[in-house]
Amino acid sequence: MIDRLIEGLPDLGRAQLARMRIKGMQRRDVSPEENEIHRFINAIDSEFLRRKAPPHNGWTNGVQGDPRYLMHEGQRVGVVQRMETHRHSNGEVYFAKILGQLLPETFRRVDDARLAVERAFAGHLQKISDELD
């Protein structure tokens, strides 16, 4: 079933891909050890990046609702995505991941989510550097 969904990703529009990614993230939250969900989300990420060449370093662009990827030396290292539309009653609507790990907090503003990913990745690079010294 997942293989059939993955095969059909190139035929879907950006908004459909973004909605499918959100649904996959929600399902992953319920069943975090289900590897097929992780594979499906990664396939959606690859499809987004295939459609528009990402920068070698820095954040990808996109239209509203698209996930934004932090790239480092051509590799996807972080992602920020809006899970729902802003309203008066919902404060934090953006989630952030770094190196496949969901950050524990959610964010009201995309810039705050991006900054958290950048700081977490910088911390990761510093830790590697310290271990090499």
Q: What is the DSSP string of 22-87?
A: HHHHHHHHH-TT-HHHHHHHHHHHHHHHHHSPPPSSEEPP-STT--EEEEETTEEEEEEEE-S---
Q: What pLDDT was estimated at residue 91? A: 65
Hunting for tokens 């950050």 — which residue is that? 103
- 9 C-beta neighbours (distance < 10 Å), count: 17
pLDDT exceeds cutoff 80 at 85: no
Cβ(13)–Cβ(47) under 8 Å?
Answer: no
Query: Which tokens go with 73?
Result: 């030396």
Q: What pLDDT was estimated at residue 28? A: 83
Per-residue pLDDT tens digits for 86-119: 555 556 689 999 998 999 999 989 999 999 999 9
Per-residue pLDDT tens digits for 19-58: 999 999 888 878 878 899 999 999 999 999 999 889 999 9
Q: What pLDDT was estimated at residue 84? A: 73
